[in-house]
Structure 1
């Protein structure tokens, strides 16, 4: 994963988020635990240890922590290389301490999993593989090479060889499993975080366009009267200045420019959304607004609307939320991208539900990915024919994720299927054989004429800029 213009964050950058103080604190906890274990083993169980070397191993960690505290500022964040070296140092220090205290006969050998888990969580795949490989090599060496644990009487404490082998196998398997598991969970969390950030950016952009449209609509409304006055006065001047051609041309220019200003404001004002009357719109109008950017892309979009048999006949007026418009726009864009020639957008309603179905005549969703639609960054290998047909398309599933997230935020439920599924009787029209996405709202969630979502009418509020 690399940082791009979309704002996604690379693994290299993400690994630089870890503060030095965090690892210093964890190392102090490890140092306290190591000193406690050494003291208890010697004082309570009278185990003979190479205390000089053991304290040397712990002392190196203490010195490293003190240097890091006094040399670097408190807000120091580690780079990928610095993070890697810190974790590798802890792994080597712990391995040396285990070498002095019985190797895999020491039950604390399981602590070798700690650096591997930290690496898999915060570092790149390359660093994780190196740390994991080093841990496996060290565990293998500790199984054969270590100083034995001796009691005060000189007896050697050791477990049977089969248990040593079992400990070795368990640590190796745990290293692989914990590393892969932590890596997988961390990657999915980062992907979800990136996708949610992209969703917020898309929603913020839609909201800004909405607000800007409101400002333009207000400007067009307020400037309409003075422009009309200018046009009327200039028209009268044109009639009165018939004997003065030069002045008459200036008056005509003023009238033409007033007309031009009127046309510009009218075109810009079409996006106006701040008017109270425009905070709601008929269902069909909202759907067509969402589809408008994709109507002239070479594919035919068919709009169909009507009540279900047992529903009310009047078309509902719904809230013109940016989430609804942008979410539907992404779904329609996906259908236009993959359709052969036609897309159908069906809007139906009952007394309790409002439903929008988007169908196309393309190949439909890949059967092996249909259960994962709506997850971010879902990739699949394209065939050569598909790559030639649509060389510009790089599908990551982010658009569908954004649409699903935004629409679910408004209370909708989304379902994805294919029209050619033999086990579903979705449509009798053989042309509608491609992908099908259905968006269903409880009517109370977006109905603008009843319930708690009712849009008040009256004087518009001033727009604050």
Structure 2
């Protein structure tokens, strides 16, 4: 559910703002106008200046239309943005056709709209714009007006050089759009996953604050309840022998006393939580995170390893609880029959190893486990894929000072292994809820 929510949010947030596209187009229009004026007036080259001016004027008209049709904060849909960028490619291609085709040094700007699309549009739209650029570049490599030059002189560009320019444009187009798309996707995925992490942390924090709210509410309700109880007690002492209302007053008095006891317990929640619930021993922690998962038919075995010194005490930190719980839940999803949690400690560190008897991690992406939305188990495994949940768990556990390592067990009867280790010093610095 969280993944779908953040994917929908990401789909909207990745859309181009109309203002951004309009400003980029104004910059392109200004550059085209300056270039044409410089070539025509300063250099004195002859070329179809009127058709070029008409093309630039059409682009200006489109920009004015976009400015008035969309508000400042509107985000363009993928289809609209693709259409506008496609029109820009067509306009660039027409200008290049009138000014020498691929022989024109500015022919490289033909790929600019496609590069812009790589950072904000879905893959199919990027491919469409890339194909559009390749088609127009292929046409311009053969058909175009002569390159503007000094009167009475012409430039004969070798065909091999034109083909080389075409190859360079296409290669640069594919490289920049693929690179830009991957970088933008990874940035968005990381941002979405971190947002999900913060959302979970806020949820855990709100839950941890309920005892304080309950204590505050009990404190506020204590005074009026004491007044009610005093009045009821006086009424009962005066009218307890009245057969009509004596029993009712006795019931009312007992219920007010019950309310008072409930409020007294609520007022002690925060102090009790601080004294008794703010820390957990290692075994208590393992029992707490594993107990809700024992009802799924998978044996969860806790094995003791080498221990030196006192048992470690963990702060009741929501990040540690959620992170360990998520790792165990993934192990339950993929295990066939059992999970083993091995623990050991000494005076310097605490270590856990979570082992399941499933199929293990896919070796081809073992090094990328923990990245957002990376499915890391074999396709024939049972259970859901590892992705955003594992990223959140890894991030929260690392914030608590844990070192995590993922691998496949060297023993054939087992599948995946997750190794976690904390230094004793890091546990003392980790905040409780």
Report what 1:460 is aligned to: none
1:330 is the counterpart of 2:329: no
1:339 deviates by 1.9
1:220 deviates by 9.1
Q: Choose from 376, 392, 395 the match for 2:372.
A: 376
* Aligned equivalents of 1:260, 1:183: Cα separation in 2: 62
Report what 1:461 is aligned to: none
* Aligned equivalents of 1:273, 1:110: Cα separation in 2: 70
Q: Choose from 79, 82, 87 the match for 2:80.
A: 82
* Aligned equivalents of 1:44, 1:9: Cα separation in 2: 52
SS of 1:209's equivalent? helix
1:438 is the counterpart of 2:412: no
- For residues 53 and 272 of structure 1, do their structure 2 counterparts lie closer, same or farther at Cα, with a shift above 3 Å needed? farther
- For residues 371 and 349 of structure 1, do their structure 2 counterparts lie closer, same or farther at Cα, with a shift above 3 Å needed? same
Report what 2:389 is aligned to: 399
Cα deviation, 1:20-75, whole Å, max 9, x if unaligned, reads 11111111211222122223323444322211112222222222223333443333
1:136 deviates by 0.8
SS of 2:7's equivalent? coil
1:57-456 alignment runs, 5 A limit: 57-213=55-211, 215=213, 274-305=273-304, 308=307, 311=308, 313-379=309-375, 386=381, 390=382, 393-420=383-410, 433-447=414-428
1:323 deviates by 0.7
Gap regions ≥5 residues in structure 1:
423-429, 456-465
SS of 2:209's equivalent? helix
1:383 deviates by 5.3
Report what 1:8 is aligned to: 7
Cα deviation, 1:183-215, whole Å, max 9, x if unaligned, reads 222222222222222222222222222222554
Number of matched pairs:
421
TM-score by length of 1: 0.78
TM-score by length of 2: 0.83
Range that drifts further, 319-328 or 61-70: 61-70
* Aligned equivalents of 1:94, 1:434: Cα separation in 2: 56
- Aligned 8 A contact 1:215 1:274 in 2: no
- For residues 265 and 375 of structure 1, do their structure 2 counterparts lie closer, same or farther at Cα, with a shift above 3 Å needed? farther
SS of 1:296's equivalent? helix
Gap regions ≥5 residues in structure 2:
none
